[in-house]
């Protein structure tokens, strides 16, 4: 959930309802049905007034697979950034997107809408086996995602270039403002499950806080903590 500059409430999620309420002029007013699948679920983005009495804007987004949205953030001009996971090979992406193809069974996705949800400004896959991403927008327009993964496309300057074990590592990724480039991407974890779930907060123009849960006894830390199933927080410079 996020609050817009005019006080509207922006929420995201997933739905299997073919009659989910959408608004006139929305980007997508019809659920993307796959008659051969046992499920039919699209992501949705909706804006309501502060009293939650009026649906101002609402849209579906997705493809023929399972599409889930988990987090939302806004930039300085009110564009709406949503992050999630998908199994759809046809999830909407933009021209010259960093990645326009589904690379694994589940892939993290990032999409950008204009403030009225009538236009998809940008969209990209991460090219990973990953789920539950959080999203934040920096002052310079770059976009940060964090989540959990088992396979990841890393950048040359990654803090951790290898999967550390367990079933999932946390990850941190930075996209260019136009979603055409993956500027930074790294694993972040230890020998057990490490996850970031809605735990991404921008502190200032060049730092973000990433928080989550770990079962790793060797999770990277600065104080030598080695507990099992601990919460963790970390601060990254962007």
Secondary structure in 3-state letters for 134-200: EEEECCCCCEEEEEEEEECCCCCCCCCCCCCCCCCEEEEEEECCCCCCEEEEEEECCCCCEECCCCE
DSSP 8-class letter at 223: S
The one-digit pLDDT tens for each residue of the chain (238 residues) are 999 999 999 999 999 999 999 999 999 999 987 766 656 799 999 999 999 999 999 999 999 999 999 999 999 999 999 999 999 999 999 999 999 999 899 999 999 999 999 999 999 999 999 887 899 999 899 999 999 999 999 999 998 999 988 888 989 999 999 999 999 999 988 888 887 877 788 877 778 888 888 888 888 877 655 555 566 667 777 6
- Non-local CB neighbours of 123 within 8 Å, separated by 6+ positions: 91, 92, 93, 94, 97, 109, 110, 111, 112, 179
Predicted local distance difference test score (pLDDT) of residue 189? 87
Model pTM score: 0.90
Predicted local distance difference test score (pLDDT) of residue 143? 95
């Amino acid at each position: 959930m996020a609050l817009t500059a005019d006080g509207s409430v922006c929420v995201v999620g997933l739905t299997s309802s073919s009659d989910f309420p959408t608004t006139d002029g929305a980007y997508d007013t019809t659920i993307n049905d796959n008659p051969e699948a046992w499920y039919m679920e699209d992501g949705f983005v909706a804006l309501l007034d502060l009293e939650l009495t009026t649906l101002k804007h609402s849209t579906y987004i997705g493809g023929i697979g399972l599409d889930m949205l988990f987090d939302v953030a806004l930039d300085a001009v009110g564009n709406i950034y949503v992050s999630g996971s998908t199994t759809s090979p046809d999830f909407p992406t933009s021209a010259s997107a960093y990645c326009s193809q589904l690379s694994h069974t589940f892939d993290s996705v990032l999409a950008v809408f204009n403030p009225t949800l009538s236009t998809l400004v940008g969209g990209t896959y991460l090219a990973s086996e990953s789920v539950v991403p959080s999203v934040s927008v920096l002052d310079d327009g770059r976009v940060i995602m964090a989540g959990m993964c088992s396979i990841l496309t890393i950048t040359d300057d990654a803090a951790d270039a290898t999967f550390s074990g367990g079933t999932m590592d946390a990850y941190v990724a930075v996209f260019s403002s136009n979603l055409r480039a993956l500027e930074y991407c790294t694993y972040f974890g230890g020998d057990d499950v490490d996850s970031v779930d809605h735990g991404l907060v921008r502190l200032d123009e060049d730092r973000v806080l990433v928080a989550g849960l770990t079962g790793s006894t060797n999770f990277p830390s600065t104080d030598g903590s080695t507990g099992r199933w601990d919460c963790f927080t970390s601060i990254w410079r962007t």
